[in-house]
A and B are shown apart, each in its own frame.
Chain A
Amino acid sequence: DTAVSQTPKYLVTQMGNDKSIKCEQNLGHDTMYWYKQDSKKFLKIMFSYNNKELIINETVPNRFSPKSPDKAHLNLHINSLELGDSAVYFCASRGELATGELFFGEGSRLTVL
């Protein structure tokens, strides 16, 4: 029973298209995140939601729009895809507030051609 699950795991698409990645967690956590991992494995935070409210929005192009219909779901929609958007996108949820430990999904590898 996967704690943090993302779909799809792989996504290959053309430049200019719009795509979405979905994330769900069954851990009962209030806070969820999207991280982007580039080809050099660098992990950069993109967004965070706490109980459906946006709390972190790092310098991300507005082509990226997160949506949280409830605290167990955080989806990522990307408009007008560009080559530089190719990366692995990781969803995560946060455990105890005191320690800040993150639980990661398995990642969604996006390839833009």
Chain B
Amino acid sequence: AQSVSQHNHHVILSEAASLELGCNYSYGGTVNLFWYVQYPGQHLQLLLKYFSGDPLVKGIKGFEAEFIKSKFSFNLRKPSVQWSDTAEYFCAVKDGGATNKLIFGTGTLLAVQP
């Protein structure tokens, strides 16, 4: 079955710093990939998704992610973070089986210091 790895468990940045969060999935073929964000005390919201086409995907709030098939990666980036970006970030991949379930990574907690 598919699995997702997020290697950064906790990231601390100052405002205006650039962000890159790593995400790797376990096997190839056709994949649908997602980044979700969970602000403190809130539910998960979709930041962006990739399912085909341009491997550089732009999402909300200035986030983008690049799908690199050869590296099984879908890293999240933002050129300049803000204090309001403090949240937990989850990478997810759609499992290719009949159930189409989303498999989530363990999350990365981003803390942005003002």
Q: Which residues of A contact B (CB under 8 A)?
A: 31, 33, 35, 40-45, 48, 55-56, 90, 94, 97-107
| Whole-angstrom CA separation of A51 from B102 in the bound complex | 18
Supposing A99-B32, A104-B44, A106-B43 touch, asked if A40 and B106 sit within 8 A by C-beta, the answer is yes
Whether B101 contacts A56 by the Cβ 8 Å rule is yes
- Contact between B51 and A99, CB atoms less than 8 A apart: yes
Q: How far in angstroms is the closest Cβ of chain B from A53?
A: 12
Q: Are B107 and A41 touching (Cβ within 8 A)? A: yes
One of B36, B99, B106 near A48 (C-beta < 8 A): B99
Asked whether A101 lies within 8 Å of B44 as measured between CB atoms, the reply is no
Describe B's contact surface by its main secondary structure: strand
Q: Is B100 an interface residue (CB 8 A)?
A: yes
Cβ of B101 and Cβ of A107 under 8 Å apart? no
Contact A42 B106 (CB under 8 A): yes
- Contact A104 to B99, CB < 8 A, known contacts A41-B88, A41-B107: no
CA distance A35 to B32 in the complex (A): 19
Inter-subunit contact A42/B43 (CB<8 Å): no
Query: Would you call A101 and B46 a contact (CB within 8 A)?
Result: yes
Is B70 on the interface with A (CB-CB < 8 A)?
A: no
Least distance between B87 CB and chain A CB atoms (Å): 11
**Is the CB–CB distance between A100 and B106 below 8 Å?**
no
B94 touches A100 (CB 8 A): yes
Minimum CB distance partner of B98 in chain A: A55
Asked if A42 contacts B107 (CB within 8 A), the reply is yes
Q: Within the assembled complex, what's the spacing in Å between the Cα atoms of A90 and B36?
A: 14
Known A-B contacts A100-B94, A101-B34; A94 and B106 likewise in contact (beta carbons under 8 Å): no
Contacts of A105 in B (CB 8 A): 43
Instruction: Given A43-B90, A99-B32, A100-B32, verify A107-B46 contact (CB < 8 Å).
Output: no
Q: A45 near B46 (CB under 8 angstroms)? A: no
Contacts of A102 in B (CB 8 A): 44, 46, 102
CB-CB < 8 A to A106: which residues of B?
42-43
- Nearest B residue to A4 via CB reads B43
Cα(A35)–Cα(B38), bound, Å? 14
